[in-house]
Amino acid sequence: MKIILLATIGWLVSSARQLILLNKCKRFAWISVLIFASGARANQEIVLTFEGLGNNQSIGQYYNGGTSGDGRGPGPNYGIYFSDNALSLISTAAGGSGNFGGEPSPNTIMFFSTGSAATMNVPAGFRDGFSFYYSAPYRATQIHVYSGLNATGQLLATLDLPLTPEGPDDRAFSPFIPIGVSFEGIARSVDFAGTQNQCGFDNITLGRATPGGLWSDSIDYGGGLKWSPWFGWYNDSHAPWYWHYDGMEWCYISGGTADNIVMWVNTMQDWIYTQTSWFPFLYRFSDNAYLWYYEGTSEPQWYHNYQTGRDESFPAAPRVLLLLHGMNSSPNSWNDFVQNQFSGSAPSIQFGENISFYSPVSNDHGVVCYRVDFGYFDDRLGLSGVGDPTPRTFRDSDILEPAMGDFTTFDYLGLEVEAAIHYILEQHPGAEIVLLGHSRGGLAARAFLQNSSGPERDAVIALITTGTPHRGSPLGRVYRYLEEHPRENQHINGSARDWQVVDFLLEPVVFGIIRPDISLDVRKPTVDHLADNSIWISWLNNGVNRLPRISYGTIEYSGHNIGHLSRSVNYNIFTWFVGAPTVTTQAQNFILGEGNSPSTFPGDGIVPFNSQGFKNLIPWWNPSYQEFKHVEGGVLHIEQTNEIEDITDALKALVDWWN
């Protein structure tokens, strides 16, 4: 008990903050009171259930921290030992030879088959009362309580046991009747006298006149159906396996007392500890977690974990990772991550429809993966790019790739995330979902989280972004520059070279070689939306207070100046380069600001480093935010989805089930 009390104090300290945040103080205080209250009582009361002992075997020193006649043990060290003729007996229903049933703690009782009495010795003594359950349908029995060992000293109490009703043939010794006696002074031995093999005893309770035990207050409705004040409705027909009708389903409970219940919860696949006065408050041994079982929940059972501050379900909620690609990209940008972490299995979802037509296979962490295929609204919103290209004319180009969300505003991208989650919840009811967004994908996730409501939003437990321009990127200003310096007047407005850069980025050929890694169409409207001064970035950041209280992580990269697009070709649109055009000073000043250079905005070449996190944006009441900064190595923007180690590090840090 001391250990439990110490653990409780530790838990009091460590969990207090979480509990206050969770507004569960009342429950917590109530539980604490119960813990201490029950602890005080336990010092005086001992219940012997004989569970764990063998069939027809001497009990001996089992309750003295020693072993029984057949070597079982060591048992609990209560300082109690029995005369050699005191035997344990298992019922026939449980595979033993005992002709009894209805015992208060199935399946083992005490009896004696030789001599005229069995004796229980308690050298340290006990006071106040003594009680037990018994069954004696044929011969009357008498109990004597003495102040000395081995039935010596002063006789403190005598208890005559009347005959009990006779049960059916296969369990004639049933039911078991509770009985007890109060006395004054200190008792050190009890003599169970009478006819050998004619009386069975169970739940022998020292310290009070009514017998204790888990099931002592249960009401029997027949057929194994019972109701317990602490456990609720249950069936003990297969004891020690108990079927809990109130949601916990199969539980294994062998022995135990009101203050010491160790239970295997089959659905949870774990051992837990509780007391009759605690339940449904539980302690889980495997991870030292204190849990609260939400009574009545089943399939899944729900528990509140005070250590993590989160609710858990058993069977565990389906775990889903949803990947969100960025601009100028596609679901295939996740191919390496998916291949490495999910053996290639991650269907694409386009506006709530699985367009890959297969079901994902879970990985080692029991997680399934999907990826959003953005772009459903590209044709529908009527947006056109600078110079009037439309999604359709883009598709008519030789590139032939759909616009992938590049003609869609952030709110509609958020809608696509919502639709994907709606589909996922249909396939995996009750799923916990982690969103992983690259670049603009992270903003789509935020647009969804900040504006949606309902089960789709509630299902998300974490958002991780990598290379996401939470504060936009100055590079996005190129769109507005092009609008203000149209191609038609390029020779008048001095933007001829800038339009060369635009065309070059559409089909970048350096020294006669096509460089797809620097292919970027800056005429698309999404470029405008991603500018650091865009109304859409403002819209997102003005609504940051609406983010739900989940875990957030941002993976941030530095090592490259803004405008650096390719590793294979050391090309920066702002810096003079042989074999490829660069923008005019006029454009550079418009994009980066007067007096600024590319090195003013270090980052991943497209998104400045200080824009990839949102530490100063996230509300103070939402502390579950971690930054994962990588200033070494110089990972470029388009390489970030392949940085699998960085992504899995963030997943491990933020999501329990990734560990």
Partner 1 sequence: MFGIRYRVWIYVLLAILLGVLLVLFFYRDRTNSNILKQAESEFSLIEDHSSKGKAYSSSQTKNKSDSEDVVRHIETTWTNPHFANDQERSENRVVSTAFDTPREQRIQMVETRRSHVDKWRNEYSSEVFNRAIQLFEKDQLSMVDMEELNVLEFVFPHTVRQNSVENNQIVFRMLSSFLSSDEKWALEQRQTVLRWIGKIQTPESVALLLETIHGVPDLETAAIGQLAQTGSDRWGGRFQNELSPVLENAWRKASGAGAYEAALAGGIIQVGASSGLEILIDSISVGASSVEELKALQRHEITPTEAWHYAILHLERFRNPQGFDFLENILMEEESTPVERYVAGEALSSTVSPEAFEALLRWAGAASAAEAGLATRWFSRIRDPKSRELVVQMISSASSDVDTHFADPYILNAIIQTMNTRQ
Which residues sit at the interface with partner 1, rule CB under 8 A? 332, 335-347, 350-353, 355-358, 360-361, 376-377, 379-383, 392, 395-396, 398-400, 409, 411-412, 414-415, 418-419, 422-423, 451-454, 510-514, 535-536, 538-539, 568-569, 632-633, 642-645, 648-649
How far apart are CB 447 and partner 1 at their closest, in Å? 8
Cβ-based neighbour number of residue 365 at 10 Å: 17
Distances in Å between the Cα of 410 and the Cα atoms of 229, 333, 659 are: 55, 20, 32
| 8 versus 340: smaller Cβ distance to partner 1 | 340
| 452 versus 584: smaller Cβ distance to partner 1 | 452
Q: Is the dihedral angle over the CA atoms 39, 41, 42, 43 positive or is it negative?
A: positive
Distances in Å between the Cα of 225 and the Cα atoms of 102, 172, 620, 621 are: 12, 20, 52, 48
**CA–CA gap between residue 370 and residue 249 (Å, rounded):** 33
**CA–CA gap between residue 401 and residue 57 (Å, rounded):** 80
**CA–CA gap between residue 587 and residue 584 (Å, rounded):** 5
| 176 versus 590: smaller Cβ distance to partner 1 | 590
| 449 versus 591: smaller Cβ distance to partner 1 | 449
Judged on CB neighbours under 10 Å (0-12, 13-18, 19+), 40 is exposed
The pair of three-digit structure tokens given for residue 91, joined into one six-digit string: 């019922």
**CA–CA gap between residue 161 and residue 135 (Å, rounded):** 9
How far apart are CB 445 and partner 1 at their closest, in Å? 14
Burial profile 517-553: b = 16 or more Cβ within 10 angstroms, e = fewer: bbbbbbbbbbbbbbbbebebbebbeeebeebeebbbb
How far apart are CB 373 and partner 1 at their closest, in Å? 9
Q: Which residue has the tokens 């044929």?
A: 138
How far apart are CB 511 and partner 1 at their closest, in Å? 6
Judged on CB neighbours under 10 Å (0-12, 13-18, 19+), 154 is exposed
| 14 versus 453: smaller Cβ distance to partner 1 | 453
How far apart are CB 4 and partner 1 at their closest, in Å? 38
How far apart are CB 348 and partner 1 at their closest, in Å? 9
How far apart are CB 242 and partner 1 at their closest, in Å? 42
| 432 versus 643: smaller Cβ distance to partner 1 | 643
How far apart are CB 484 and partner 1 at their closest, in Å? 12
| 374 versus 376: smaller Cβ distance to partner 1 | 376
Distances in Å between the Cα of 656 and the Cα atoms of 52, 228, 268 are: 36, 35, 16
How far apart are CB 343 and partner 1 at their closest, in Å? 7
| 88 versus 345: smaller Cβ distance to partner 1 | 345
How far apart are CB 344 and partner 1 at their closest, in Å? 4
| 223 versus 382: smaller Cβ distance to partner 1 | 382
Cβ-based neighbour number of residue 335 at 10 Å: 15
CA-only gyration radius of the chain, Å: 36
**CA–CA gap between residue 89 and residue 210 (Å, rounded):** 23
Measuring CA to CA, which residue among 387, 585, 383 is closest to residue 489?
387
How far apart are CB 603 and partner 1 at their closest, in Å? 17
User: Partners of 509 in the beta sheet?
Assistant: 514
| 86 versus 447: smaller Cβ distance to partner 1 | 447
Cβ-based neighbour number of residue 307 at 10 Å: 15
| 533 versus 624: smaller Cβ distance to partner 1 | 533
| 357 versus 620: smaller Cβ distance to partner 1 | 357
| 72 versus 422: smaller Cβ distance to partner 1 | 422
**CA–CA gap between residue 58 and residue 53 (Å, rounded):** 9
CA 455 to chain centre: 18
How far apart are CB 411 and partner 1 at their closest, in Å? 4
Q: Which residue has the tokens 């001497």?
A: 58
Note whether 293 and 282 are within 8 A (CB).
yes
**CA–CA gap between residue 647 and residue 618 (Å, rounded):** 21
How far apart are CB 65 and partner 1 at their closest, in Å? 44
| 257 versus 350: smaller Cβ distance to partner 1 | 350
The CA-based dihedral angle spanning residues 1, 212, 157, 121, taken in that order and rounded to the nearest 10 degrees:
-50
Measuring CA to CA, which residue among 149, 116, 118 is closest to residue 132?
118
Measuring CA to CA, which residue among 507, 519, 479, 520 is closest to residue 387?
479
The pair of three-digit structure tokens given for residue 493, joined into one six-digit string: 């407005």
How far apart are CB 601 and partner 1 at their closest, in Å? 22
| 284 versus 529: smaller Cβ distance to partner 1 | 529
**CA–CA gap between residue 127 and residue 209 (Å, rounded):** 10
How far apart are CB 367 and partner 1 at their closest, in Å? 15
DSSP string, 326-384: -TT--GGGGHHHHHHHHTT---EEETTEETT-SPPPP-TTSEEEEEE---TTTTTS---
**CA–CA gap between residue 255 and residue 202 (Å, rounded):** 11
